[in-house]
Amino acid sequence: MSLPHTHKKKGFVLLAVAAGLVALIGAAGLAVDVGRMYVVKSEAQTYADAASLAATMELDGTIDGLTRARQQAARDMNTWNFNTQRFSSYAISFAKDAAGPWEEYPQSAAGYRYSRVTTSAPLALTFMSLFYKGEGQAVPGAFISLGAAVNIKGDSAGGQEPATRFREGLFPFSPYAHSTEAPHFGLVPGQSYTLRWAANPMLNLNVCPGDQVPEIITLAEAGGGEERGYIEESSADIIRAAIEEDYQTVYRGIGESVDMTGGAKQTELSAIINRVNQDSDSSAETYADYVSRGFGNGRRVVGAPINTGYPDYRIVQIGAFFLYPAGSYDNSGNRPFCAEYLGAWVQGSQHKGVEPSGAFVTRLVQ
């Protein structure tokens, strides 16, 4: 015959086991759901980071640039939930400063060199939904809200940030400044300037249009007939790598001097042609035509240091230049290699930069 207190002990054990099971299931639910939240948070942030950088690369100070940035953000819709779902929504805004204010539809594109992308993913809870019923609403600053579903957010901003020194990517030619006045130092966007000078430059004969000034021709000859515009080592192979593969032998930056390399180096003509043909639009005659056609990949947009010429050859600016179609470059050593000056250069972009001039890199700012 069982004693009364024995029945009480059995009842207590059952209650304790039941309570323990509830706690165990709750802990398991918390571990599984919170783990999934961290995974989705990472996926959302990865999308926002990639989309903001891709959008920023499209900005060029024009309304068309803003439109391309929006299209790029939409095109870069990475998936989430272990590659099974697409992000259902996103928002993109723009700013002139990394701190904002942010605008979705600026009245003017001038100066807007930052893109911000936000997105969210509605993650349905599993174990935790056994305990929390109803639609959960996102809580700012938190990963979760107590409910059957939660919105996981991604938020990122990228910008075209100024850079004054580069270890790779600069073209192995250095055009001459025409004045000491910033920001363009006498160069005019849309005009054609000399990359490689002819052996015997003569006014109105074998000089690029933008350099048809006696003073600049004199400057080009001041260093001697062997100084033709190249700024890499004398090795033809190294110069070819610089033209075709963005290779640099040294760091180069504003205020530093470039070492001019002598000789016509006609073997580099094929390297120029190869670089032009690396572009998915190798035939556009001008940069304006190139942009309007809209299928170039940017290989014809190059960054080159602009220097003061003999005797210091000091870099005063780094600018973007557009290479002409391959047929524009002549096989004669007494013909120049010309390129269209654009203004600001953004490393890796297929467009000129937002600012009037200078060099920039695209990076995350938040």
Give the SS3 label for residue 116: strand
pLDDT at 137: 41
For residue 52, what are the contacts with CB-CB under 8 A and spacing of at least 6?
A: 73, 92, 115, 116, 117, 156, 157, 158, 364
Q: How confident is the model at residue 46 (pLDDT cuts 50, 70, 90)?
A: confident
For residue 13, what are the contacts with CB-CB under 8 A and spacing of at least 6?
A: none
Closest of 184, 310, 267, 172 to residue 229, by C-alpha: 172
**239-266 residue pLDDT tens:** 999 999 999 988 999 999 998 887 878 8
Weakest mean pLDDT among 18-22, 52-56, 154-158, 225-229: 18-22
End-to-end CA distance of the chain: 74
Helices (H) then strands (E): counts for the chain: 6, 15
pLDDT at 197: 93
> Has residue 148 got a pLDDT over 80?
no
pTM for the whole thing?
A: 0.84
Distance CA 26, CA 16 (A): 15
Over range 311-321, report the average pLDDT: 97
For 283, the token pair is: 């035939």
